[in-house]
Amino acid sequence: MALWEQLLAGVLGLLIIFMVFPGIKATMAKSKNAEEKHWGTVLLLAAVLIGFVVLMIYSVQ
């Protein structure tokens, strides 16, 4: 990658972070006030994602 491409990618990354950050901040504030915690769903989604990545790795070999 050329230097100007790396700089452009960095600027775009920062722009995306600054555009998304207010939404993330509001979501985090709402989740602190939530009555139920859905950790089981998070763990299930993480397990499915890890399984999918492992499957993709083994399918290439």
Cα(11)–Cα(7) distance, rounded to whole angstroms?
6
Mean pLDDT of 10-21: 89
Q: 7 is in which domain, residue-wise? A: 3-60
Q: Residue 36 has what pLDDT?
A: 74
Q: Residue 30 has what pLDDT?
A: 80
Provide the number of structural domains found in the chain.
1
At residue 16, does pLDDT exceed 80?
yes
Cα(40)–Cα(51) distance, rounded to whole angstroms?
16
Q: pLDDT for 36-53, tens place per residue?
A: 777 888 899 999 999 999
Q: Residue 29 has what pLDDT?
A: 81
